[in-house]
Amino acid sequence: RRKKIVQECEKLMDKPDQIRNIAIAAHVDHGKTTLTDNLLAGAGMISQDTAGQQLAMDTEEDEQERGITIDAANVSMTHEYEGTNHLVNLIDTPGHVDFGGDVTRAMRAVDGALVVVDAVEGAMPQTETVLRQALREGVKPALFINKVDRLISELQEGPEEMQERLQKVIGDVNDLIRGMTDDMDDVDDWTVSIQDGTVGMGSALYKWGISMPSMQRTGMDFGEIIDLEQNDERQELHERTPLSDVVLDMVCEHFPDPLDAQPRRIPRVWRGDAESDLAIDMREVDPEGEVVLMVTDIGIDPHAGEIAAGRVFSGTIEKGQNLYVSGTAGTNRVQSVGIYMGGEREEVDRVPAGNIAAVTGLKDAIAGSTVSSVEMTPFESIEHISEPVITKSVEAQNMDDLPKLIETLRQVSKEDPTIRIEINEDTGEHLISGQGELHLEVITQRIERNQGIPVITGEPIVVYRESPTAQSREVEGISPNRHNRFYMSVEPLSEDIVELLKLGEATMDMPELERREALMEAGMDKDTAQNVEHIYGSNILIDDTKGIQHLNETMELVIEGLEESLDDGPLAAEPVEGALLRLHDARLHEDAIHRGPAQVIPATRDAVHTSLMDAEIRLLEPIQNVRIDVPNEHMGAASGEIQGRRGRVDDMYQEGDLMVVEGIAPVDEMIGFSSDIRSATEGRASWNTENAGFRVLADNLQPDIIHEIRERKGMKTELPEQINYL
Ligand code: GDP
């Protein structure tokens, strides 16, 4: 049977109008995994009986234990819609925001996103996050409202109450979609509705579903469904209106095929020459064109080694091809190509444009790479709004494991670009930085269990930032030989500009004019925008000098010094963000030998750090939005858990039979939250956090925390005297 399905998929791969590349995205626990199992069972990939228990997509052991989906896994299936067979390539996305990077990458590979929302809970913070990630990539949404059985059996709602509730879910989701697509001129109305058939609903657990088209086809209406559900005749419900048919019909009917999607999506995600042959190949999904593969995920197969999975935007990928990998020199040779079936890889001869391919041999590729048969402008870097906020040290228990541990850490950072790894081969103590406590826990467990390397981990440490809060005076930076001087000032960048930079929407890679316009639109004045010399992280260097001899040939060193001094801010050697640095003037030695790296880099560092201190630089700490759902009697305990952590409760309201507490708290204080909230509420609370950027740490806490970090890093603990404002 499996072989037959593979053959069927291979046939369909050449018919782009019969292909749908989709993702299912949801807030954690809303039922994405259960729904996915239904689809696989419906397509004959797993047995109907085990759907819902098998959790086929959660292939990693730790995912099954935790009951959450972490790695984006891929699976292809076929579905007959209106007499024509379709190939549906489904990319799994993680539900927990700690793993937000994976969601964005999965979206790059697909053209449609089925957003799953729990009928009882309604749209939740991560519903908003995944919608935003989809829309930003030009991916079209549809809605599936899950757990409708609970409205009927558990909450005993009548038809009117139910209708009201479902309408509210649809309305909330549409408000989000409208807000996010307002300024997108390449998108028509993407709101969803029951009438259009872009909304489906049902029960993934009991395997039934309905939509407007399905009601028309089966003749079943809501009243009948309520009757059957109330009388516990779920088997009949499933037989008469199976969920997988309803959802896969919706996918085939409403999601764009690659021919329809690529002309719209390519300009969103690729900034190369729109008139070039390559651009045409990609817009036309041309299987004869140059090969272009966007890698969205790197996985490991115990036998085949590293597997790069991604979307083929043009050409046909085959064994033996030598392909360029963006960001690296030279080419890699394709060893095999395959497609995914229920999480397992099946080798095939070739994968043409419009499909998802699993490729081995691309040893230099990382998640996010552009792989192509000609050298080309790579795809836009995938936007990560969430930056690492927490760090943990890992050491091998056994010195003999050191090489294997280093290799594994390198691998981990290839698979998950939201992880940052610092390898220290001398001490053997490596640092992993990630999106949250859980994220790091998952990674270290994987190293221990999958790789069999026992490790010792340190306490989680929060990552801070340093940022100027005022306009500095013009200060002087002097080189060790005193012959080179730089005159600089610093001012804080506006929040809008910082966000623009963090999203990668103004970079040195883009054409100057485009960058200037983006910065001016975010509020930068014209003269400043014209003089942008360099962008580093969310900091900008402005060159306001005129006609200084030798400056051009020295600029590269200035930039090197600038980057170094921004990596290690003057307070506690944490990264600097949100600084606009102006170079006003410079004195350079005539003779190149006296203005080499050993002179210019320290001089720049002196100018940058002195001006940052004059700009009253302060420590920023990462914060998280926290949402807790609890029974009424535990509400006080839940809000106390937020307030007791230097947090703030912003809202408390009733939803269904539970109370919702929403607030905000520093990441530092959130360490250990999961066990505390469990004991404070007798385990009856469910909760979620979402990184919400950085904010200035309260002034009275600054000196102690700075001291602590300096001590930990082995720096001098006394602060430079210019920091007297603290
Ligand atoms: P995911 O985190 O979005 O992948 O959610 P899961 O598929 O793991 O489901 C979370 C929980 O909700 C599990 O206990 C499921 O059994 C349950 N669940 C999923 N779908 C339904 C449904 O339609 N009705 C009910 N009553 N429970 C469901």
Quick: pLDDT tens for 653-677: 987 778 989 999 999 999 888 889 8
Q: Specify the pLDDT at position 424.
A: 78
Q: What is the pTM of this model?
A: 0.69
Kindly report the protein residue whose alpha carbon is nearest to atom 25 of ligand 1. 147
| More confident: 322 or 8 | 322
151 has pLDDT over 80: yes
CA distance 63 to 54: 12
Binding residues for GTP: 26-33, 92-96, 146-149
Asked whether the beta carbons of 246 and 202 are under 8 A apart, the reply is: yes
- Which atom of ligand 1 lies nearest, measured to the CA of 67? 8
Average confidence (pLDDT) over 392-408: 89
Q: Who contacts 164 (Cβ-Cβ below 8 Å, separation ≥6)?
A: none
283 has pLDDT over 90: yes
State the distance from the centre of ligand 1 to the C-alpha of 292, rounded, in angstroms: 37
- Which atom of ligand 1 lies nearest, measured to the CA of 202? 23
- Ligand 1 pocket test, candidate residues 32, 58, 205, most atoms within 8 A of CB: 205
Average confidence (pLDDT) over 620-644: 92
Asked whether the beta carbons of 116 and 32 are under 8 A apart, the reply is: yes
State the distance from the centre of ligand 1 to the C-alpha of 171, rounded, in angstroms: 23
Under the banding of pLDDT at 50, 70 and 90, the label for residue 155 is confident
212 has pLDDT over 50: yes
Q: Specify the pLDDT at position 63.
A: 41
Most confident segment among 128-132, 183-187, 380-384, 608-612? 608-612
614-628 per-residue burial string, b: 16 or more CB within 10 A, e: under 16 = bbbbbbbbbbbbbbb
Q: Specify the pLDDT at position 59.
A: 47
Average confidence (pLDDT) over 378-406: 82
Average confidence (pLDDT) over 691-708: 92
Closest CA to 511 of 521, 519, 499: 519
Q: Specify the pLDDT at position 120.
A: 92
The encoded tokens of residue 164 equal 């009201």
47 has pLDDT over 70: no
Instruction: State which amino acid sits at residue 314.
Output: S
Most confident segment among 83-87, 155-159, 541-545? 541-545
Under the banding of pLDDT at 50, 70 and 90, the label for residue 343 is low
Q: Specify the pLDDT at position 132.
A: 83
State the distance from the centre of ligand 1 to the C-alpha of 402, rounded, in angstroms: 41
CB count within 10 Å of CB 145 equals 27
Most confident segment among 236-240, 292-296, 474-478? 474-478
Residues in the chain: 726
Closest CA to 278 of 296, 266, 265: 266
State the distance from the centre of ligand 1 to the C-alpha of 126, rounded, in angstroms: 16
The upper half-sphere exposure of residue 228, i.e. CA atoms within 13 Å in the direction of its Cβ, equals: 21
Instruction: For residue 660, give the H/E element and its range.
Output: strand 658-666
Average confidence (pLDDT) over 570-579: 96
Q: Specify the pLDDT at position 189.
A: 87
CA distance 133 to 385: 10
Pocket around ligand 1 at a 6 A CB cut-off: 26, 28-34, 67-69, 95, 146-147, 149-150, 203-205
Phi, psi of 371 (to 5 degrees): -120, 130
Q: Specify the pLDDT at position 587.
A: 96
Residue where the block lists tokens 């467990």: 445
Least confident of 146-155, 333-342, 685-694: 685-694
Average confidence (pLDDT) over 193-219: 93
State the distance from the centre of ligand 1 to the C-alpha of 119, rounded, in angstroms: 11
CA angle 603, 608, 610 (to 5 degrees): 95
72 has pLDDT over 60: no
- Which atom of ligand 1 lies nearest, measured to the CA of 68? 2
| More confident: 93 or 36 | 36
Q: Specify the pLDDT at position 93.
A: 66
Q: Specify the pLDDT at position 328.
A: 84
Interface ipTM: 0.99
The encoded tokens of residue 4 equal 């037959």
Under the banding of pLDDT at 50, 70 and 90, the label for residue 62 is very low
Under the banding of pLDDT at 50, 70 and 90, the label for residue 219 is confident
Residue 139: strand, helix, or coil: coil
98 has pLDDT over 50: no
Residue 701 DSSP code: G
Kindly report the protein residue whose alpha carbon is nearest to atom 6 of ligand 1. 31
Q: For the chain, what percentages of helix, strand and coil (3-state, to nearest 5) are there?
A: 40, 25, 35
39 has pLDDT over 90: no
Q: How far is CA 4 from the centre of its chain?
A: 35
CA distance 392 to 35: 35
Kindly report the protein residue whose alpha carbon is nearest to atom 22 of ligand 1. 147
Average confidence (pLDDT) over 369-373: 94
The encoded tokens of residue 248 equal 């896969």
Under the banding of pLDDT at 50, 70 and 90, the label for residue 385 is low
Asked whether the beta carbons of 687 and 628 are under 8 A apart, the reply is: yes
| CA-only gyration radius of the chain, Å | 27
Under the banding of pLDDT at 50, 70 and 90, the label for residue 712 is confident
CA distance 446 to 669: 26
Asked whether the beta carbons of 87 and 20 are under 8 A apart, the reply is: yes
Q: Specify the pLDDT at position 689.
A: 78
Q: Specify the pLDDT at position 426.
A: 76
Phi, psi of 609 (to 5 degrees): -70, -40
10 Å CB burial of residue 481 (0-12, 13-18, 19+) is middle
Q: Specify the pLDDT at position 68.
A: 34
Kindly report the protein residue whose alpha carbon is nearest to atom 15 of ligand 1. 31
436 has pLDDT over 50: yes
Kindly report the protein residue whose alpha carbon is nearest to atom 9 of ligand 1. 31
